Structure 1
Amino acid sequence: MEITLHLAQQDEADAFLSRSPLAAMIGTLLDQQVPMEWAFTGPYTIARRMGVEELDAGAVAAFDPDEFVRLLSDKPAVHRYPGSMAKRVQQLCQYLVEHYDGEVTEVWRDVDSGRELLRRLNELPGFGKQKAQIFLALLGKQLGVRPEGWREAAGAYGEPEAYRSAADITGPESLAKVREHKRELKAAAKAAKG
């Protein structure tokens, strides 16, 4: 089954995300405090700057940390906070090397429940409960990884046509719906404070 993600909203970056589960995971990690498209373009930019066709967790983990910060900081920067995000990306890749032999798909291969997969995702550096649930929903909704109970484990992000996160983005129209949902959440939070 050929999968095409539309999270970066750029053909080359989306093709890269579609063929690289590690890229999709790194994009999810980067998806905070920047526009979603910027975050999900990041893995493609990192690979190009590293001079590689595919991202490899071992190569990212072993990359000189200062050079990796520079690589993410070069203009245009991969993230608003390239230094801290470079560290997080390397920590994620180091964890994948130590616990899954650098194979990101081992995180979900042979899991027998959504709850177990959520637990494994929650253990990843930089993945709190919300990010783990969003990535679990992305795996289930778009990447065909659907252990029993995955929707329940993903919480509200697992609901069909929820339009809450990157897991629901399949093109410009769904991106607009997700953005509208996020605007509504911010407005409600602001009203609650006021």
Structure 2
Amino acid sequence: MTRVYLSTDPQADELLTDDRFALLVGMLLDQQVPMETAFTGPKKLVDRLDTFSASAIAALDPDELLAAFKETPAVHRFPGSMATRVQAMAQAVVDDYDGNAEAIWTASATDSNPPTGKEVLRRLKALPGFGDQKAKIFLALLGKQFGLQAEGWREAAGDYGPEDAFRSIADVVDEASLARVRETKKALKAAAKKSK
């Protein structure tokens, strides 16, 4: 698999490519900050903490995690609330998937059938900090850049599923596609403002 281009930082992108929990954390952080800032967050945490995994974050003293979030440069512009959300999500991954983030989209659903796109979306939406839109964007990211084979994932991802959508981080593979996503978001915001 080629390295993703989500943070625009080669080391951070290498982590996101190789570590599914880091990828999940990056997606969780992707709100009210630029996409690149959000997806650089997991690398900052790896550099600041002794260990970085769902089980390690879930078990960490909340004050220690908060200190790692606040260290300059901060992981997120809202370090307190985001540290709490990341820890809650890590605990959910531990409780529901034995600490294996990738199991969210690969573990057998029923009768040992792989999960469908609809089921993966349901599982993502059940995670702390993942609403409908974030879950659909992450599902599209998994399908477009991480080879997700779940049946019906494009349909479940809604507007983010089409190959040429350029609506979210799921479509960012280089600087040109990042610019296209930003243009699309700007146009959608302008249209929404105009319709009010």
Q: Paired residue for 1:121?
A: 124
Contact 1:39 1:78 in 2 (8 A): yes
SS at match of 2:102: helix
AA in 2 matched with 1:159? P
User: How many residues matched?
Assistant: 190
Q: Paired residue for 1:163?
A: 166
Q: Deviation at 1:51?
A: 3.5
Q: Paired residue for 2:66?
A: 69
Q: Does 1:91 align with 2:88?
A: yes
AA in 1 matched with 2:71? D
Q: Paired residue for 1:14?
A: 13
Mapped partners of 1:188, 1:95: distance in 2: 37
Mapped partners of 2:168, 2:149: distance in 1: 18
SS at match of 2:176: helix
Q: Paired residue for 2:47?
A: 48
Mapped partners of 2:96, 2:15: distance in 1: 24
Query: Within 5 Å, which residues of 2 pair with 1:177-192?
Result: 177-192=180-195
Contact 2:118 2:152 in 1 (8 A): yes
CA RMSD of aligned residues (A): 0.9
Contact 2:16 2:23 in 1 (8 A): yes
SS at match of 1:108: helix
SS at match of 1:97: helix
Mapped partners of 2:174, 2:22: distance in 1: 18
SS at match of 1:184: helix
- Deviations along 1:13-36, whole A, 9 cap, x unmatched? 000100011111110000000000
- Deviations along 1:15-68, whole A, 9 cap, x unmatched? 01000111111100000000000000000101110044xx31000111110111
Q: Paired residue for 2:133?
A: 130
AA in 2 matched with 1:139? L
Find runs of 4+ consecutive structure 1 residues off by over 2 angstroms. none
Q: Paired residue for 2:150?
A: 147
Q: Deviation at 1:129?
A: 0.6
* 1:172 corresponds to which of 172, 175, 183: 175
Q: Paired residue for 1:78?
A: 75
Q: Does 1:57 align with 2:63?
A: no
Q: Deviation at 1:3?
A: 3.6
Mapped partners of 1:29, 1:108: distance in 2: 16
SS at match of 2:83: helix
AA in 2 matched with 1:176? A
